[in-house]
Amino acid sequence: MTSLLPPRAAGPRASDRPSADGRSDRQRPLALVASLGGVAAALAPLLVLAAVGVIGWFTADAGAHGTPSDGMRIGALAWLMGHGSGVTVQGADVGIVPLGVTAMSAWAMWRLGHRVGDAVSGHGPDADRIADGERDFTVPVAVALFFVGYAVVAVVVASVAASVDTEPSTARVVWWSLLMTLAVAAPAIAIGSGRAAIWAALAPAVVRDGVGAALSVLGWFLAASALAFVAALLAGAGDAATTMSQLHLSAGDAVVYSLVNAGLAPNAVLFSGSFLLGPGFAVGGGTMVSPGLVVLGPLPLLPLLAALPGAGATAGWVASLVAAPPVVAALATAWWQRRRPTLRWDHGALRGCGGGIVAGVAFAALASVAGGVAGPGRMQHVGPFVPDVLVHAITAFGVGGLVGGLVMTWWQRRHALESAG
């Protein structure tokens, strides 16, 4: 970011002098930095999963069957599934995305993207020239090259790990890589390069605060959904233990199977949020899990499913959980506005309501990728009822955010009047 400051007068070979933090002022080639950043962001979680696959292969039967490459291939397939590839297991399609793997890849993208942004911040015009309206393509070019590096690794991994039995979709992996680059790496590069701060300064304050309120509402609701899921899973801990015992797994297999469940935990959190909002979700064709009614059928032996409530009509206190989303949205908006005070009623209302609506759309988008095909037959329909979730999320978060924004505006106006008096 310091590279965006106007250039200083330099003597001979000034570009070779180290800066205050020990780094050279010489600019690194943008193409090299951005593309290698994309490659590194793809390889970091891939190597972790490959190592986990090898450890799982060895602990399963002390390496008596297969080779270490089989474990590495399993890790590569897990990485591909985290990018929406889907696989074929014993002739049955499995398209559900383990969002735990996706989250790990997104974290690597964010960290590497931020470093790429910092490295290319000196390219293009400086801050004054950008403020004067000069065109700056540094961030778009860096994002495009970052994606190219990431996609190259994705295509190579899909080609190496694919087989007649698994058949991961390379096209879907590339598409997911593009979406993740735009949603995660692009903001990280913009922030790291300092351009995001310049662009944000051009937006109205109410818009910036609305985005902050939306992130606050979304974060608070995801935390509440995770808390509800953990509480339900603890309540069904006995059923989860019974499920594990029925599988008759060895110690090594149990560890690997637990990691698989951990990879699906973010999916379960989004299922939990859809439940709190009211529409709920399906765990197979003809099923419904909602605060008012639970209809279940035969379920796979998955410990995470121990968090499901019993079939039939739910208790009254369970149905009352639909009040949680607007309350959470109101509290999250008030907490955000407490740090960004305003005395204008319209700003408080726009922050809260607008931020809540944006958070509702964002949650529905996340819920749309939480489900998918989980097996043959009735298990081809697993996941939240996304259209209904979208409507309920926009309504609950919008109303809750509006109330929270107005209440906090009233409190801040009252506090200002008392201080003035």
Write the pLDDT tens digit of every residue in 131-172: 666 677 889 999 999 999 999 999 999 999 888 778 888 999
The answer for 89, left when phi > 0, alpha when psi is -120 to 50, beta otherwise, is beta
Report the pLDDT value the prediction gives residue 388, as an integer from 0 to 100.
Answer: 96
Cα separation, 45 vs 270, whole angstroms: 22
> Burial code of 247-275, b = ≥16 C-beta within 10 A, e = fewer?
eeeeebeeebbebebebbbbbbbbbbbbb
Reported as half-sphere exposure (CB side, CA atoms, 13 A), residue 378 has a value of 12
Domain boundaries, the chain: 23-202, 208-420
- Quick: pLDDT tens for 18-72: 444 444 446 778 889 999 999 999 999 999 999 988 887 777 665 566 677 778 8
pTM of the model: 0.87
Low-confidence ranges of the chain (pLDDT < 70): 1-26, 60-66, 126-134, 250-252, 421
pLDDT of residue 204: 83
Which pLDDT score is estimated for 228?
Answer: 94
What is the pLDDT, as a whole number, of residue 57?
76
pLDDT of 6? 41
CA distance 107 to 184: 8
Q: Sheet containing 312-313: which strands, arranged edge to edge?
A: 312-313, 293-295, 288-289, 281-283, 382-384
**Tokens read off for 191:** 């922030």
What is the pLDDT at residue 401? 94
pLDDT of amino acid 3: 46
